[in-house]
């Protein structure tokens, strides 16, 4: 039975895999290539249901209702975080600009009052942009770690979402196929029986 206290991810298949969605007060890291759909997943969560919260855009010009966080220091970024659903696009930019020690401090300490206020903060992390030790530090800091993977098989893309870490909960034992649609990600809700 799904936990009714959780916030919907905006994706039915992911809510099902996470037993209702994201628990309030969690740090979520979504990892993938720039073309894997991680921004779409973050936007689906941000736009789902109750008030949108804050979307801090560091990588490019912000879209509608997003905050231009390019050039903000850690204190200004934390001060700009309002609402219960917050997106930081991207943690990779923070690591490149500030270094891993400062970025990890931002995730774990500077935003602690926001997490304690039961907000969810989603950080986007681009694969291949960081050293293994930097990625390990971010994985350890996350309460929930999702990775989007894709590979080309013949003439088709195979895309899967893996839930690799969930604080205080069982981690699903399988990856979930997904498609990138015009409106966002669509996850499979069926399992193949072999």
Mean pLDDT by 10 residues, the chain (194 residues): 77 93 97 95 88 90 95 95 96 96 97 97 96 96 96 90 94 92 86 51
Write the CB contacts of 65 (distance below 8 Å, at least 6 apart in sequence).
52, 55
pLDDT of residue 172: 87
Please answer whether residues 176 and 188 qualify as being in contact, where contact means their C-beta atoms are separated by less than 8 angstroms: yes
pLDDT of residue 58: 96
**Quick check: pTM over 0.75?**
yes
State the helix-helix crossing angle for 91-98 and 132-141, rounded to 10 degrees: 120
pLDDT of residue 178: 95
CA–CA dist 13, 184 (Å, integer): 13
pLDDT of residue 48: 85
CA–CA dist 75, 110 (Å, integer): 8
Q: Which fold has domain 23-187?
A: Rossmann fold (3.40.50)
pLDDT of residue 190: 66
């Amino acid at each position: 039975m799904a936990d009714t206290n959780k916030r919907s991810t905006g994706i039915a298949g992911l809510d099902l895999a996470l037993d209702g969605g994201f628990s309030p007060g969690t740090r979520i890291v979504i990892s993938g290539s720039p073309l894997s759909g991680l921004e779409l997943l973050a936007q689906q969560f941000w736009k789902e249901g109750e008030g949108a919260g804050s979307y801090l855009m560091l990588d490019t010009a912000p879209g509608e209702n997003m905050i231009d966080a390019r050039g903000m220091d850690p204190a200004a970024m934390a001060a700009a975080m309002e609402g219960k659903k917050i997106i930081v696009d991207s943690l990779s930019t923070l690591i490149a600009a500030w270094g891993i020690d400062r970025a990890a401090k931002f995730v774990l300490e500077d935003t602690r009052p926001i997490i304690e206020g039961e907000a969810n903060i989603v950080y986007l992390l681009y694969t291949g942009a960081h050293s293994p030790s930097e990625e390990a530090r971010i994985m350890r800091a996350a309460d929930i770690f999702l990775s989007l993977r894709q590979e080309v098989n013949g003439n088709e893309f195979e895309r899967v979402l893996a839930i690799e870490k969930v604080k205080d909960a069982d981690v699903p034992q399988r990856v979930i196929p997904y498609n990138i649609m015009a409106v966002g990600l669509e996850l499979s809700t069926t399992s193949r029986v072999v």
